[in-house]
Amino acid sequence: MEYLDNTGRQRLGDALRDSIDDGAKLSIIASYFTVFAFGELKDELSKVDELRFIFDEPTFAKQMESEKDPREFVVRRRSREKGVGGTGLELTLRNNLNQRALARQCAEWARQRATFKTAKQRGMIATTGSYHVDNPNAESHAFMGSAANAFTLEGLGYERKPGVVTGISHFQTSAEAMGLKAMFDSVWDNPALVEDVTEEVIEQVSTLYRENSPEFVYFLTLYHLFRDFMEDETEDPIRPGLRFEESVVWGKLYDFQRDAVVGAIRKLEKYKGCIIADSVGLGKTYEALAIIKYYEERNGRVLVLCPKRLRDNWTLWTRGNDERNPLADDRFAYDVLNHTDLSRYSGMSGDIDLEYLRWGNYDLLVIDESHNFRNKSTDAEKTDRYTRLIDDVIRAGVRTKVLMLSATPVNNKLLDLRNQIELITEGDDEYLAETDGIPSITQVTRVAQQRFNEWSKLDDSERTTESFVNAVNADYFKLLDVLTIARSRKHITKYYGAASGTFPTRRPPISFQTPIDARGELPPIAELNDMIAQLTFAQYQVLSYVRYDQQRKYEDRYGDTWGKDFQSQVNRTTAVANLMRVNVLKRMESSVNSFRITLRRILDGCVDLRGRLDNVGASVNYDMRGTDTEFDDDDDAEEFVAGGRVHVDLRDVDALRLRQDLDYDIEKLRLLLSYADAVTPERDAKLIRLREYIAEKVTNPYNPGNRKILVFSAFADTTDYLFDQLAGPLKRELGLECAEVNGGANRTYSLKLRRTTFEAILAHFSPKSKELSERDRNAGEIDIVFATDCISEGQNLQDCDCLVNYDIHWNPVRIIQRFGRIDRLGSENKEIQLVNFWPDIALDEYIQLEGRVKGRMVLMDASATGEENVLESKAAGEMNDLKYRRQQLEQLRTEVLDLEDISGGISITDFAFDDFRVELQRYAKDNPGLLETSPVGLHAIAPIPDELKGEVRPGVIFCLKQNDERKDPKDTNPTFPYYVVYVTDDGARMTKHTQPKPALDLMRAACSGQHEPLLDLCKTFNAETRDGLRMDAYTDLLDDVVAAITGVQETKGMESLFSLGEVGSGVTLGFNDYSLLSFLVLR
């Protein structure tokens, strides 16, 4: 006997070469058999007369699926079965792309000379690996030892792991060898111990060279990427026996919505929270209703928190006997409260008595428009809505799961998301440390915000989604992926196809740019703005007139509310005055009537305060809520009312200075008011143009018979004006029924409704989408609605095919949200139209005008920034926004945008992977065991989809795995250690390995519906590569991909020298540090 250490010239493979003669019979007991080991010894194996191979643990056993084996064993068994295609260190050799050719040779050889058997049960063959060579005309040889337990390159000694010592005993005499052969024969011939699996092994080998369908390779790639998810989630999250999938609401969902529901339930069960951030018009509300139904089927108590304007939307579905409720049979029983109810401790909200409500008794909390909770107070002594939500609803009582709905969870800051995530984590910064390797949510979001700030300073041409992904830490994308579900309209259309329903075609936007005065006698906007900018707005900052000797009194009185020192308090009042200055400008842009009303209110306030100065004993109630507070921006409105009521004793002010400023304002305001009063409705050019357009649209409808138009304005004064001036003439001249919805006084012109609530008005405006009953339809329909932004979110008005923005909101997101009321999935309209009324001023001048007005300090809650000088930072941030606001508005002149398409903006829909996981789970459920036992290294050939031929060229999508995870700094790829990269045939274009999702999206598009191999494409590919023998071109592309990955890692590794944590060692990575798991050839 001799001892082999399985290295150098003492390798088992070399010993076998020396031992095997022509006509030999080879008998092996081992755990693994691979085609790469066959390839190494194929010359010798071609000489043997017979190979007998026994798997020492159950592998390919026919009865395995019915046995209740522990998961650990099932995983090991599947590893042995799929290991036919290669294991361990052999993986690097697969990068030669020679697996296909080896597999074909191995299968042909095995059919002629090999027989495979497997142990039927674990532990039946309690022996180490062994090889026996029975030569016909020479001595036999036997090999035994732990290293011989696998017929792999590592087992043969041609690859080895560093630091691993192995030993093999070589028996060279026939007597010793025959003893091992006798033991082998006793097992081989015992049907109680083993069963034949030859066909199964050959079938597995054949899969390595058989033509594969693109769909199969796509799902196999997903399995490699998300196998941990699959192994952790072996059970369907939908509990059986609940009849949930028989519900009415489930039946109304499209496939992509069902995927969102299942994915959200999975996150709710695992993380106790989820944010659904699908784009506008994709049906988030119905997805939430399905989730609510699931938990109500489990007897869960559910609370829905929504904006007050959406309350009736949610309560309707709980009214089982209401004929307007299309989901009545689902018997929803959840409670509904308003966001504002969190600020109340008594009184009724609907039929709920807030004084006695057990806030902490809900199993599921659904927050509609959750972006309203993106800010929280930093004052430990102050309880705001956010704090109460955390303390009284989520932390108190039972463990509450939190489902949030928002199309814009990230508004101006990436940090917006952190505060919403804290509603899920209950403020636990290490909540995801164990489950997902995110040690600190705060740190991840802080770093992301820093990099976002740097990215936002780039030139327009450089500020792209791609550059953002390269800049921002991958942990942030992982955080998004873990807790959010976000799909865009383009994503649904492209990757779900017709099964996702249809969207209407967007016509190019129509832009009107009209002067204020049809006679042209009014000064231009820029001149009017200069007059507005000169106003002091003294009545809104009386505190700033307090004499120095009286200032301490106000510090003591309002320090907790308005700032710790007097100057901080004054700064805030100055900010309020500047907000009013902006508000006046916005109202001037909206309508001359809104401008006129606002000027008159401000003038009346000035005159009133001026009169009080003559009464020395008077005091001023400095109450923001008592003045003109109708803003078109929620943030401005919140800032305006911040601080509540401030009382200023006029005996404490510098009366002379205050009187002078009030007199100045009164003079300027009277001049401005005279200009506004001169523009009567007959001279209002903008009003005239709207009336003309309505007549044009009704005469030449975009869709047959559709006369409906939705007109938006930021201000109720404007919608009042439009209704008053147009409702009568439009009824008399065109037979159009008009209505107004502004969140306050809602009205119709001649249509008699049982109730004139805005819900009733919208139901008669869009009866199909609102599923209005036939009885109510008989009352008639509404053709034109003049509305404020009280309905810009959460409403489905897709019966309408035309939306008019009578004033342009300075935030393009609001414009897109408005259009989302009619641009919706499943619309019966083939085309829809967006109409924008622009100020009569050049866009560049308009942006500069905004810059001059907004160059100010504003109120802000410090909680979301962590910056010390909050007031100045907000002003600087808004000025920085102007750099790309121009580009956004310019886009809106020529095209209708989705939220994710806004130039310079970022949408989280670009980074979520949950769709892929749900798809994978569905496929695995329909094809049990297929993916788990399939070997790696497979490929398919797919055509480039027609709709992508303009942007995609022939190439390859590679799926790689880095073998040693310790060699990566882990900040370059959210799916590490896996990479998915698309590269063109010429190597000129390549997707970033830091962005796996674009390559996966492309792969899904190319493979969708391709259930069978495309034989014509396969024939061409096989001719090019000589059936896999000539893969040089693809190996070169693979080399380029690996070089790109290691190059990026080297750069990031250097960066990590200056940050906390382990320094990455990307510089040591090379070609053989990566395994090729699958690839798709695009033709």
pLDDT in tens, 348-398: 998 899 889 999 889 999 999 888 776 665 544 445 777 888 888 888 888
> What's the mean pLDDT in 282-307?
93
User: 103-123 pLDDT, tens per residue?
Assistant: 888 989 999 999 999 888 877
- As given in the structure block, the two tokens for residue 790 are 């009280």
Residues 6+ apart with CB under 8 A from 1009: 215
pLDDT band at residue 886 using 50, 70 and 90 as cut-offs = low
- Sign of the CA dihedral with 235 first, then 236, 238, and 244 last: negative
User: Over 811-840, what HEC string results?
Assistant: CHHHHHHHHCCCCCCCCCCCEEEEEEEECC
State the pLDDT at residue 95.
46
State the pLDDT at residue 330.
93
State the pLDDT at residue 91.
41
* 213 has a pLDDT exceeding 80: yes
State the pLDDT at residue 375.
64
- Which residues on neighbouring strands pair with residue 981, listed in sequence order? 958
Among the listed residues 778, 766, 887, 873, the one whose alpha carbon sits nearest the alpha carbon of residue 828: 766
State the pLDDT at residue 175.
72
User: 926-947 pLDDT, tens per residue?
Assistant: 888 888 878 777 889 999 988 8
The residue ranking higher by pLDDT, 642 or 149, is: 149
State the pLDDT at residue 1063.
34
The residue ranking higher by pLDDT, 870 or 477, is: 477
User: 987-1029 pLDDT, tens per residue?
Assistant: 887 777 777 888 888 999 899 889 898 888 888 888 888 777 7
Alpha carbons 809 and 861: distance in angstroms, whole number: 23
**Separation in Å, CA 16 to CA 12, 133, 172, 695, 718:** 6, 8, 12, 92, 92
Other C-beta atoms lying within 10 Å of the C-beta of residue 618: 13
The residue ranking higher by pLDDT, 640 or 14, is: 14
The residue ranking higher by pLDDT, 106 or 501, is: 106
State the pLDDT at residue 805.
94
* 906 has a pLDDT exceeding 70: no
pLDDT band at residue 271 using 50, 70 and 90 as cut-offs = very high
* 288 has a pLDDT exceeding 90: yes
Alpha carbons 1068 and 1044: distance in angstroms, whole number: 14
User: 251-269 pLDDT, tens per residue?
Assistant: 999 888 888 898 899 899 9
Alpha carbons 134 and 50: distance in angstroms, whole number: 10
The residue ranking higher by pLDDT, 491 or 63, is: 491
pLDDT band at residue 867 using 50, 70 and 90 as cut-offs = very low
Instruction: Report CA 84 to chain centroid distance, whole Å.
Output: 38
- As given in the structure block, the two tokens for residue 376 are 């929280």
Alpha carbons 798 and 762: distance in angstroms, whole number: 11
Element of type H or E holding 914: helix 914-926
82 touches 57 (CB < 8 A): no
Alpha carbons 304 and 404: distance in angstroms, whole number: 10
State the pLDDT at residue 53.
93
* 1080 has a pLDDT exceeding 90: yes
> What's the mean pLDDT in 778-792?
91
State the pLDDT at residue 864.
23
State the pLDDT at residue 499.
60
Alpha carbons 702 and 829: distance in angstroms, whole number: 9
Per residue in 917-951, is it b (16+ CB within 10 Å) or e — as a string? Answer: bbbbbbbbeeeeeebbbbbbbbbbbbebbeeeeee
Its pTM surpasses 0.95? no
> What's the mean pLDDT in 883-897?
57
The residue ranking higher by pLDDT, 144 or 100, is: 144
The residue ranking higher by pLDDT, 215 or 888, is: 215
pLDDT band at residue 303 using 50, 70 and 90 as cut-offs = very high
State the pLDDT at residue 1057.
33
pLDDT band at residue 1060 using 50, 70 and 90 as cut-offs = very low
pLDDT band at residue 292 using 50, 70 and 90 as cut-offs = very high
State the pLDDT at residue 409.
64
* 471 has a pLDDT exceeding 70: yes
> How far apart are the two ends of the chain, measured CA to CA in Å?
58
Among the listed residues 102, 87, 80, 113, the one whose alpha carbon sits nearest the alpha carbon of residue 198: 113
836 touches 814 (CB < 8 A): no
Out of 416-425, 729-738, 784-793, give the one with best mean pLDDT: 729-738
State the pLDDT at residue 634.
44
Alpha carbons 691 and 697: distance in angstroms, whole number: 10
Structural domains for the chain:
2-210 (3.30.870.10), 216-231+935-1082 (no CATH), 241-488 (3.40.50.10810), 523-678 (no CATH), 682-897 (3.40.50.300)
State the pLDDT at residue 601.
93
The residue ranking higher by pLDDT, 94 or 418, is: 418
Among the listed residues 154, 153, 57, the one whose alpha carbon sits nearest the alpha carbon of residue 102: 153
pLDDT band at residue 1065 using 50, 70 and 90 as cut-offs = very low
State the pLDDT at residue 903.
46
DSSP secondary structure of 412-480? S-THHHHHHHHHHHTT-TTTTHHHHS-S-HHHHHHHHHHHHHHHHTS-TTT--HHHHHHHS-HHHHHHH
Place of tokens 């139209």: 833
User: 561-599 pLDDT, tens per residue?
Assistant: 555 566 766 777 777 787 888 888 889 889 999 999 999
> What's the mean pLDDT in 7-29?
87
Indicate the SS3 state at residue 703: coil
The residue ranking higher by pLDDT, 894 or 714, is: 714
- As given in the structure block, the two tokens for residue 604 are 């009346």
State the pLDDT at residue 75.
37
825 touches 796 (CB < 8 A): no
Indicate the SS3 state at residue 331: coil
State the pLDDT at residue 293.
95
* 728 has a pLDDT exceeding 80: yes
pLDDT band at residue 908 using 50, 70 and 90 as cut-offs = low
Residues 6+ apart with CB under 8 A from 421: 273, 275, 441, 479, 483
Average confidence score pLDDT of the chain: 79
> What's the mean pLDDT in 760-776?
88
- Percent pLDDT > 70 in the chain is 77
State the pLDDT at residue 1064.
36
Q: What is the dihedral of CA 562, 567, 572, 573, to 10 degrees?
A: 100
pLDDT band at residue 221 using 50, 70 and 90 as cut-offs = very high
